[in-house]
């Protein structure tokens, strides 16, 4: 079973619907003891980093998410929270991945970046198994992580940015797989398989 972290994130219902569509069992919870019993955890996210981190702290989820031994998938803001910090409100984040999340330069592009954009795979991860090297996914974000050692796929909106990151049991996607049609559902299905195999 996959645990969806409940911390007032705006896309919990759409992630839940997507997991239902692919036949994945899941539970929505803010209780670390419940989430700890799950095969894997999804950290969704729509909103701002300062409020999101404050909500995680109120629920006692910081330590759990920072040191999880099960697979964790961050989506959009959830991916950004896995980094050390965010320029949004000068927020200290979970520190799983190195680096800081930055804001797009609105003199170079439209901010927020919204809509379908091409993602180019540059590395290997089970999360992207069976997906095409270049595929379109749905984005909605004003902040981004620069490509680095944990980046396995990139996208560009006049600025090259990390679209998928992965290291050990932590994964993140800047786009919304739950809103990206069959291509996005395939990624969530891969995460479900990854969680089951991780526990074996």
141 tagged catalytic: no
Question: Which of the following is catalytic: 76, 113, 141, 195?
Answer: 76
Cα–Cα distance measured from residue 125 to residue 171, given in angstroms and rounded to the nearest whole number: 9
38 tagged catalytic: no
Question: Which of the following is catalytic: 88, 93, 141, 176?
Answer: 176
76 tagged catalytic: yes
What is the four-CA torsion angle of 81, 86, 91, 97, rounded to 10 degrees?
50
Q: Residue 168 class from Cβ within 10 Å (0-12 exposed, 13-18 middle, 19+ buried)?
A: exposed
Question: Which of the following is catalytic: 88, 93, 113, 178?
Answer: 178
Angle at 25 between CA 22 and CA 31, to 5 degrees: 135
Q: Hey, which residues are catalytic here?
A: 76, 176, 178
């Amino acid at each position: 079973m996959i645990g969806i972290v409940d911390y007032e994130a705006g896309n919990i219902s759409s992630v839940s619907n997507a997991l239902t569509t692919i036949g994945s069992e899941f539970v929505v919870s803010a209780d670390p003891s419940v989430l700890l019993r799950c095969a894997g955890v999804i950290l969704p996210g729509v909103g701002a980093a300062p409020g999101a981190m404050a909500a995680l702290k109120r629920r006692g989820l910081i330590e759990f998410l920072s040191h999880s031994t099960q697979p964790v998938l961050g989506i959009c803001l959830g991916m950004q929270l896995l980094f050390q910090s965010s320029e949004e409100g000068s927020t200290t984040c979970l520190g799983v991945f190195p680096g800081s999340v930055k804001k797009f330069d609105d003199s170079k592009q439209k901010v927020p970046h919204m809509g379908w954009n091409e993602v180019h795979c540059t590395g290997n991860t089970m999360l992207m198994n069976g997906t095409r090297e270049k595929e379109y996914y749905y984005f909605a974000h004003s902040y981004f992580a620069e490509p680095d050692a944990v980046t396995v796929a990139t996208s560009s909106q006049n600025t090259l940015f990390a679209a998928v990151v992965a290291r050990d049991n932590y994964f993140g996607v800047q786009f919304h797989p739950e809103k990206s049609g069959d291509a996005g559902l395939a990624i969530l299905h891969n995460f479900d398989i990854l969680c089951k195999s991780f526990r074996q």
